[in-house]
Amino acid sequence: MNPVLLTSAYLPPIQYFSKIYSAPRIYMETHEHYVKQTYRNRALISGPNGVQALTIPVEHEYSKRPATRDIRLSDHGNWQHLHRNALQSAYEGSPYFEYYADDILPIYDHGHQFLIDFNEDFLHTVCDLLNMKPNVVKTEAYADALALGAEDFREVIRPKIPHSIDKTFHPVEYYQVFRQKHGFLENLSIIDLLFNMGPESRLVLRDCVIESNI
């Protein structure tokens, strides 16, 4: 697979993480303008009532079109506590929650000020738990994917864009706690895969990858 260009993301979906797993190099865009309603500050998990969105409130002035790297976390609504409880409620019955919870849940208390640092902390932690060592390079300016020789997924991996347009990704079914109630839910957060499948998550990610001809 070619190098890929990604945005920062909060507990990103399996589609996103399949790039982390397979690409020889990941260029992490840090100089883009911040865009609302994306995975930058939203994760999708499976709860007792189906798909549940965990959205991080952020502080910025929309009129100034801030860069993602400048977006600060908000303390509004005690969201860290709510997200931590949501993960526990959704996954405490999963096979691997007790193995990984002590690594994942404390991140909410690390005191990050910026969204991009918070997301990076989760990314590194999940990679470590899965024994993955991706080659991640932060961009030094708004990136030109063609110049980098990278496949550009900045506008492709979004909550409102069907993953089917990504010809390098094919969702693979795996065990989910609430599958009998809701059926299999595709392309949820990597945390859904981690808590349900543990070390076998790498095999699922491998099987999700379709080699690109680009």
Name the nearest CA neighbour of 193 among 6, 13, 9.
13
Q: Where are the alpha helices (DSSP H) in 94-200?
A: 97-104, 115-129, 145-148, 179-182, 190-197
Q: Give the per-residue pLDDT at 214.
A: 45
Please tell me whether the overall predicted TM-score, pTM, comes out greater than 0.85 for this model. Answer: yes
For tokens 């911040």, the residue is 34
What single DSSP character describes residue 87?
H
Q: Give the per-residue pLDDT at 212.
A: 60
Structure-model confidence comparison of residues 179 and 214, the more confident one: 179
User: How far is the C-alpha of 111 from the C-alpha of 129, rounded, in Å?
Assistant: 21
Mean pLDDT to the nearest integer, 18-47 = 95
User: How far is the C-alpha of 134 from the C-alpha of 137, rounded, in Å?
Assistant: 9
* Model pLDDT for residues 144-194, shown as the tens digit of each residue: 999 999 999 999 999 999 999 999 999 999 999 999 999 999 999 999 999
What are the angstrom distances between the C-alpha of 92 and each of 19, 73, 127, 148, 192? 28, 26, 21, 42, 11
Q: Give the per-residue pLDDT at 210.
A: 87
User: How far is the C-alpha of 153 from the C-alpha of 28, rounded, in Å?
Assistant: 10
* Model pLDDT for residues 50-93, shown as the tens digit of each residue: 999 999 999 866 557 788 999 999 988 899 999 999 999 999 99
Mean pLDDT to the nearest integer, 104-110 = 97
What single DSSP character describes residue 74?
P
